Chain A
Amino acid sequence: MNREILVEAEGLKKTFDGLLAVDGINFKIFKGESFGFLGPNGAGKTTTMKMINGVSPPTAGNLTIAGMDVCGNGREIKSMIGVAPQEDNLDPDFTVFQNLTVYARYFNIPKEAAKKRAEQLLRFVQLEEKRDVIITYLSAGMKRRLIIARALLNEPQILILDEPTTGLDPQARHLIWNKIRSLQKEGVTVILTTHYMDEAAQLCDRIIIMDHGKIIEEGKPMDLVRKHAGEEVLELVYSEEVMKLLKQTFRNARMEVVGDKIHVFTSHPRGAFSKMLKAASFRGAVIRDANLEDVFLKLTGRRLRE
C-alpha cells in the first residue's frame, strides 16, 4: 500500500487542567478514505477532531496534516479543512445565504466567486428555497445541511463531520448520508465521529473505537464485526433451562444476559442457530446479523457514561 497519508498522529496527547482527554493515540488517515471515530461520550473524539483542525494545540505527540505539523501551520491547515461541528454555530443574525457569503470572507474567497459557490452549495444540500430565510426559522435537519454546506465553501480536501446526524429524523439522516457519499465519490477525505453504529458501518471505510482517551480497536467495520461478534447473534428470553441448554450446544460461545434476554455470540458459521431452533422451540427466539453495535458494546461495556 503506497497510498498518500493525509493525517498522521503519533503519541497524540491532550490534557485539560490535568485531566487526560486523549491519551497517546496513533493513527493514519489516507487520502480519499472515510475514517470514523467511535466511542462513548467523553472518549476523546471531539478533542481529537479539534486537534486535527488546529484549534486545539496538542499537549504532546506529533500530529501532521498533509505533512504539515499542526503547530505553526494553522492557517494553511485550516484553509484545506472544512468543519461541520457538533453544535449549531450558524450565525442567527443572518439569512441562509448570508451565512455562506459571510463565512466565505473568512477564507478570502472573492465576493462574486463566493456568491456562485453559495448558490451551488444551497442546491447541493437542497436549501435553495430557504435562501433568504433567517436561521432561527430552520428545522434541525436544515441547519445541519447548511452547516455541511458551509464546511464545503473552501472546497476542502478534508471534511470533518462531528456527529453529523445526531437528533435528526430518518429522512434527514438519509439525505445527509447521500450527500456524504457523493462527496466521497468526488475524492474528499471524510473524518467522522458518530454514536450511530449503522452510520459508521454505512459511511466509513475504516473506524477507530476510542474509550477513555485511548484507541481500543481499529479496522474495517465488517472485519471488526466478524472478529468480535461473529456472523449472527441469537437472542432469546432468559430462563435457567435455556441457559443450560445453550451452554451444552455452543460450548465456546459468548453469552450475555441483557435485561430478560440472552444474547449468544458465536464464531460458528451462519446457520448454526437456525439448526438448533428447528430442533426445539424457544420463547422469543430471534436470529439476526451481528453488527457494529454488538462490537461497540462488547468493547466499551454497557455502563452508562456521564
Chain B
Amino acid sequence: MANIASLFRLPKLSYRVWRVWMRNRDVFMKTYKTGFLPPLLEPVLYLLALGLGLGGFVQLINGEPYIQFIAPALVAVSMMFSSFYECTFASFVRMYFQKTFDAIIATPVNIEEVITGELLWGATKSLINSSIVLGVIFAFGLAPSPFLLLIPPLSFLVGLLFSSIAMCFTAIVPNIDSFSYPNFLFITPMFLLSGTFFPLAAIPELLQVAAQLFLPLTNAVKLTRALALGRLEFAPLLNLAWLLIVTPFFFILSINLMRKRLIK
C-alpha cells in the first residue's frame, strides 16, 4: 500500500521547472527550420491522399465531405504524435544517453522539476505542431468556426496527457527499442480507431464506449472536431471532463515513476 501511495505523492515543484523547459526550447530553436517541415507537409499529404483521393469514394451518413471529417482529426493526431514522441524517444535520449537529467539534478533543480519541465515541453511541442496542422486545414477552408482559436489551448492539455503517458513508459522501459511496444499496441491502434478516419458509430456500441473510456485520442478528436466546425453541444464537455480527470492522474504518476527510476 505504501508503495502505491508513493506513486501518487504530490511532486515538490517550483518556478525551476521553467529552467528545464527553457533548456529544451533553446535546443528546439536551433533546429526549428527543419523541425517545421514534417508537421507542415504531412497533413497536406493526408488531405490529398485520404481527403481528396479516398474521399471521392466515401459517402458519410450526414452528407459531410470526407475531407472535412478527417481534417480536424489530423490536428488531434498531431497533438498525440508530437508529445508522445517528445517524452518517449527524445526524453529517453536525454535521460539515458546524454545524462542531461543527471547533470541538472546536481544543481538546485530537483528530479520532479526536471520531469515536469519535460512534460510541459512535450505539451508545448503538441501546441506548436498541432497549430501548424491547424493552419494548414484552415488554409484549405476546413476549420470554418472561430472556435478554432480554442484548439491551441486544448492541444496543450492533450499534449500534457500524452506526454505524461509517454513518460510512464520512459520510466519503465529497459532500452530505447522497447518503445516499439507502446507504439504498436497503443499509439497505432488509437491513430486508426479513435473516430479519426471513420465515425465511431460504424463500430459496435460496446467498442464505442470502450473507445471513449480508454482511448485518450477519441476525446481529443471529438473536441477538436467540435471546435473546428463550431458544433458545440453537451457531449464535448464530457470529453473535456475526461481529459481534466485523467491528465493529473498520469502527470503525477509519471513524475513518481521517473523519480523511482533515477533516484537510487
Q: Which residues of A contact B (CB under 8 A)?
A: 16, 53, 55-57, 74-75, 78-79, 81, 83, 85, 87-94, 98, 102-103, 105-108, 154
Q: In the complex, which residues of chain B have a beta carbon less than 8 angstroms from the beta carbon of A93?
A: 27, 30
Supplied contacts A93-B27, A106-B108, 16 more A-B pairs, CB within 8 Å:
A56-B264, A74-B110, A75-B110, A78-B106, A78-B107, A79-B107, A79-B108, A83-B106, A89-B99, A93-B30, A103-B103, A106-B16, A106-B107, A106-B109, A107-B107, A108-B108
Q: In the complex, which residues of chain A have a beta carbon less than 8 angstroms from the beta carbon of B23?
A: 91, 102, 105
A107 with B108: CB separation less than 8 A = yes
Q: Give Cα A102–Cα B20 distance, bound, in whole angstroms.
A: 9
User: Across the two chains, which residue of chain B brings its CB closest to A92?
Assistant: B98
A56 with B263: CB separation less than 8 A = yes
Q: In the complex, which residues of chain B have a beta carbon less than 8 angstroms from the beta carbon of A16?
A: 264
B99 with A78: CB separation less than 8 A = no
Tell me which of B19, B98, B103, B108 contacts A75 (CB under 8 A): B108
B26 with A94: CB separation less than 8 A = yes
A57 with B263: CB separation less than 8 A = yes
Q: In the complex, which residues of chain A have a beta carbon less than 8 angstroms from the beta carbon of B142?
A: none
Tell me which of A53, A75, A88, A98 contacts B26 (CB under 8 A): A98
Q: How far is the CB of A266 from chain B (nearest CB, A)?
A: 46
Q: Give Cα A108–Cα B16 distance, bound, in whole angstroms.
A: 8
Q: How far is the CB of B262 from chain A (nearest CB, A)?
A: 9
Q: In the complex, which residues of chain B have a beta carbon less than 8 angstroms from the beta carbon of A79?
A: 107-108
Within 8 A of A (CB), among B104-118: 104-110
Do A53 and B22 contact each other (CB < 8 Å), given the known contacts A92-B98, A93-B27? no
B interface size (C-beta, 8 A): 21
B98 with A89: CB separation less than 8 A = yes
Interface CB pairs A-B, < 8 A, 14: A85-B102, A85-B106, A89-B98, A90-B103, A91-B23, A91-B98, A92-B98, A93-B27, A93-B30, A94-B27, A102-B22, A105-B19, A106-B104, A108-B108
Q: In the complex, which residues of chain A have a beta carbon less than 8 angstroms from the beta carbon of B99?
A: 87-89
A91 with B107: CB separation less than 8 A = no
Tell me which of A55, A87, A91 contacts B263 (CB under 8 A): A55
Q: Give Cα A108–Cα B108 distance, bound, in whole angstroms.
A: 9
Q: Give Cα A289–Cα B214 distance, bound, in whole angstroms.
A: 74
Q: Give Cα A106–Cα B106 distance, bound, in whole angstroms.
A: 10
Q: Give Cα A161–Cα B26 distance, bound, in whole angstroms.
A: 28
Q: In the complex, which residues of chain A have a beta carbon less than 8 angstroms from the beta carbon of B178?
A: none
B108 with A78: CB separation less than 8 A = yes
Q: How far is the CB of A112 from chain B (nearest CB, A)?
A: 16
User: Across the two chains, which residue of chain A brings its CB closest to B105?
Assistant: A55
B100 with A89: CB separation less than 8 A = yes
Q: How far is the CB of A47 from chain B (nearest CB, A)?
A: 9
Q: Give Cα A56–Cα B99 distance, bound, in whole angstroms.
A: 16
User: Across the two chains, which residue of chain A brings its CB closest to B106?
Assistant: A83
Q: Give Cα A105–Cα B104 distance, bound, in whole angstroms.
A: 10
Q: In the complex, which residues of chain B have a beta carbon less than 8 angstroms from the beta carbon of A56?
A: 263-264
For B73-111 the 0/1 string (1 means CB < 8 A from A) is 000000000000000000000000011101111111110
Q: Give Cα A122–Cα B27 distance, bound, in whole angstroms.
A: 21
Q: Give Cα A93–Cα B23 distance, bound, in whole angstroms.
A: 10
User: Across the two chains, which residue of chain A brings its CB closest to B103?
Assistant: A89
Q: Give Cα A75–Cα B108 distance, bound, in whole angstroms.
A: 5
Q: In the complex, which residues of chain A have a beta carbon less than 8 angstroms from the beta carbon of B109?
A: 106
User: Across the two chains, which residue of chain A brings its CB closest to B18?
Assistant: A105
Q: How far is the CB of A185 from chain B (nearest CB, A)?
A: 25
